[in-house]
Amino acid sequence: MTFLYLCSDQLGIGESELGRKLLEMYLDKLAHSDVKIDAVGCVNAGVFLTTEGSRVIDSLRALEKRGARIASCGTCLDHYNIREKLLIGQVGTMDQTVQIMGAADKIIRP
């Protein structure tokens, strides 16, 4: 099983807008590649990717359509006060994250 772990709303460290643009391009290319993603977990600022205003929602929908299960950290959604703005996937728990990471053959963290 391949797990895509998104713990930020940007790729890399540096200028924020560049990092968001890079992650947007990465997820678009990933969604249109032959790389199989079984599960996507969004934590911390990564939950902004699955909620209203996300610039990558179409890419995540494409991954979901290809069979990926998507979950966003419930604690994180509550911390940012955006649980009701969730657009895709389900609200996940840390127990689920531990189990999926432990069972994954590969974890991708862009």
The tally of domains found in the chain comes to 1
The boundaries of the domain holding residue 59 are 2-108
Distance between first and last Cα of the chain: 17
Q: Confidence class of residue 88 from pLDDT cuts 50, 70 and 90?
A: very high
CATH code, 102: 3.40.1260.10
The residue-averaged pLDDT of 86-95 equals 97
Could you give the CA distance from residue 102 to residue 15 in angstroms, rounded to a whole number? 32
**Orientation of helix 57-65 relative to helix 16-31, angle to 10°:** 20
Q: What is the pLDDT of the chain when averaged over all its residues? A: 97
The residue-averaged pLDDT of 38-46 equals 98
Task: Look up the pTM and report it.
Answer: 0.94
Rg of the chain over all Cα atoms, to the nearest angstrom: 13
Which backbone phi and psi does 51 adopt, to 5 degrees? -120, 170
- What is the predicted pLDDT for the residue at 51? 98
Q: Confidence class of residue 68 from pLDDT cuts 50, 70 and 90?
A: very high
Q: Confidence class of residue 37 from pLDDT cuts 50, 70 and 90?
A: very high
The residue-averaged pLDDT of 56-70 equals 98
